[in-house]
Amino acid sequence: MLPAELQRVDRSQLRAAVGDTTFQRGAQYARQGAVAEMSWRPAKNALYGTVAGSHGERYVTTVYFTGLGAAEPWWFDDAQCTCPVGADCKHAVALVLAAATRAAGDGPARRSAVAPKGWTSSLSALLGDQSVEDEPRSATPLAIELTLSAEISAGRSKRGPGGPSLSVRARLVKPGKTTWVNALSWSKLSSPYGHYQRDDYLATHVQILREMYAVYLSGQEDTAYGAYSHGDDKYLDLGAFASPRLWPLLDEAAAAGVRLVHGRKRLGDIERYGSAELCLDVTRHETSTALNVSPMLRMADPNEAVAPFAFIGDHGVVGIDRAEIQATDRHEDWHIRLARLSAPAPPELIQMAVANKSLRIPAAERPRFVSEFYPGLRRVARIVSSDESFEPPVIEPPTLV
Query: Mean pLDDT in the chain?
Result: 82
| Backbone conformation region of residue 242, classed left if phi is above 0, alpha if psi is from -120 to 50, else beta | alpha
Q: Tell me: the pLDDT tens digits for 290-336?
A: 999 999 999 988 888 999 999 999 999 999 999 999 999 888 899 99
Q: Tell me: the pLDDT tens digits for 113-122?
A: 444 556 665 6
Q: Strand (E) positions, 209-273?
A: 236-237, 259-262
Q: Tell me: the pLDDT tens digits for 30-62?
A: 888 889 888 888 877 889 999 988 777 788 899
**Which pLDDT value is given to residue 5?**
79
Q: Tell me: the pLDDT tens digits for 7-28?
A: 888 888 888 888 888 888 889 8
Quick one: CA dihedral 128, 134, 137, 141, positive or negative? negative
Which residues of the chain carry a pLDDT beneath 70? 67-72, 106-138, 151-165, 192-199, 221-231
Strands 46-52 and 35-41: antiparallel
Per-residue exposure over 90-106, b if at least 16 CB sit within 10 Å of its own CB, e if not? bbbbbbbbbbbbbbeee
Strands 306-312 and 316-321: antiparallel
